[in-house]
Amino acid sequence: NLDVGNLAGTIHNVTSDQSTLGKPLTFVFAGDQLKGVNAVALEGTLDHIIPAQSRDKLALKAKGYELADVALSKDSRWPVTLKSGLGDIAVDATLQGRGLAAQGAGNLRALQLAAGVSGDTNPLTKSLSSAVSGISQLSLKANVTGTLDNYDVELSSDLDRILQDAAGKMVNELAAKFGSQLQAAISAKISEPMKQLQETLGGFNAIGGDLGDRLGQHTEVLNSLLEKSLPSKSLKKLPGGLKLPF
């Protein structure tokens, strides 16, 4: 009976001299509806039959582990806090002598995350904050190697992909915004010259029409003068049968 609730289980081969018994100690515990976690299962083996070649194994599974107010980033420029959520976790660890090897996997769900600071004007952190705040589920993987005194932890999650997607989306949005602003600026710059050019061309059209009218009038006057100054009979007696073009 623990503070978190009730765990039931068994322990076998309890002895202070495994080398005499010739069997490792084994244990299995399980519990559900515990404080802060829905269910837990724990089992392991402590093998010290040959003390110089001791080998301990542990397997832990927890379902519905309650997460609350966990600071994921304490950077004042871009803090990230896990307000609440649930985690399903599985861990397998082996300790051989002083050497440690462990693998873990977790699925975090029903998440509520808060990111960024109020009044942030940086487009990158604003985009990342928006992406992080919209996350409701995450998967995690961990790998631990080394010794009890000096070990390395490799941690990966799909948070990397989410942040990369957010950054890429932000870049695309900025590029599209810049393109629209550039097009608007260019249009504003050339609108007045284009208007002036259209007015100039329109003036040329009016001048062309006026010239056409004047030429037509001059042609009529010229034809009238020629008809009056040249006898009509002579028009039919030009050499070679030539005709005047009027």
**pLDDT tens column, 92-123:** 999 998 899 999 999 989 989 888 888 888 77
> In the prediction, which pLDDT does 238 show?
44
- The torsion angle over the Cα atoms of residues 30, 34, 37 and 39, rounded to 10 degrees, is 30
- What angle (nearest 5°) sits at the alpha carbon of residue 145, between those of residues 43 and 70? 75
Could you tell me what percent of the chain has a pLDDT over 90?
A: 24
Angstrom distance (rounded) from CA 229 to CA 232: 9
Q: What is the pTM of this model?
A: 0.60
What is the rounded average pLDDT for all residues in the chain? 75
pLDDT at 17 over 50: yes
Quick one: pLDDT band at residue 217, thresholds 50, 70, 90? low
> In the prediction, which pLDDT does 63 show?
92
pLDDT at 228 over 80: no
Quick one: pLDDT band at residue 134, thresholds 50, 70, 90? confident
> In the prediction, which pLDDT does 240 show?
46
pLDDT at 221 over 60: no
Per-residue HEC secondary structure of the chain comes to: CECCECCEEEEECCCCCHHHHCCCEEEEEEEEEECCEEEEEEEEEEECCCHHHCEEEEEEEEEEEEEEEEEEECCCCCCEEEEEEEEEEEEEEEEECCEEEEEEEEEEEEEEEEECCCCCCCHHHHHHHHHHHCCCCEEEEEEEEEECCCEEEEEEECHHHHHHHHHHHHHHHHHHHHHHHHHHHHHHHHHHHHHHHHHHHHHHHHHHHHHHHHHHHHHHHHHHHHHHHCCCCHHHCCHHHCCCCC
* For the ranges 91-95, 176-180, 213-217, the one whose mean pLDDT is highest: 91-95
pLDDT at 172 over 50: yes
